[in-house]
Amino acid sequence: MSSSVGMNYLHVIHEPEKAGTESRFEETGLQLPARRSWNMPNLPWLRLYELPGSPCDTLRPPNPQPGQILLAPNPSPDEIRVTLPEELYDENNPAHFRLYDALGRLVYHSRWERGARTLIADLSRLPAAMYFWEVQSGKERKGQGKLVLAR
């Protein structure tokens, strides 16, 4: 439970399934690092599994749609694998992978080797943050999205 006055504690109900004093209510039972009032801290639910469009869909291997570029894992601590689907691969026009920071600055660039459909990018030198990626072949953008580096 939170309090209506600003304090850096939450009240704890140790056994919420029990009634009255058997629930073992403890006032100021959990100390917080900052003051809160009226609302609870944001505690994200990370068991999203295959929720479409979620950046946390890494609990199971991604299942790309036909023609979709596969970038995994996302979030990633440092290294990602970018795979071009068969229909986007063009031996005569190698694709480029680019990564941009939140200000739109190019922070990483790599090109697929001739004959390869998978690119492994070592991003360990970049700080943990959200980035924007694109894959371009010739003058055509083949795909784009977001990548989270989390350490």
Residue 104 pLDDT > 90: yes
Residue of higher predicted confidence among 49 and 9: 9
Residue 54 pLDDT > 80: no
Residue 128 pLDDT > 80: yes
Residue 63 pLDDT > 80: no
Integer Cα distance of 72 and 99 in angstroms: 14
**99/36 same-domain check:** no
**29/84 same-domain check:** no
**6/74 same-domain check:** no
Integer Cα distance of 5 and 117 in angstroms: 58
Residue 92 pLDDT > 70: yes
**38/81 same-domain check:** no
Integer Cα distance of 85 and 129 in angstroms: 27
Would you state the pLDDT for residue 110? 96
Residue 133 pLDDT > 80: yes
Beta strands in 59-149 (DSSP E): 70-72, 79-83, 95-100, 106-111, 118-122, 129-137, 140-149
Residue 81 pLDDT > 60: yes
Residue 26 lies in a domain: yes
The number of folded domains in the chain is: 2
Would you state the pLDDT for residue 119? 92
Give the rounded distance of the alpha carbon of 13 from its chain centre. 32
Mean pLDDT of 81-95: 84
H or E stretch at 72:
strand 70-72
Domain that holds residue 119: 70-149
**92/140 same-domain check:** yes
Left, alpha or beta for 104 (phi > 0: left; psi -120 to 50: alpha)? left
Residue count (the chain): 151
Question: Mean pLDDT score of the chain, rounded to an integer?
Answer: 82
Residue 75 pLDDT > 60: yes
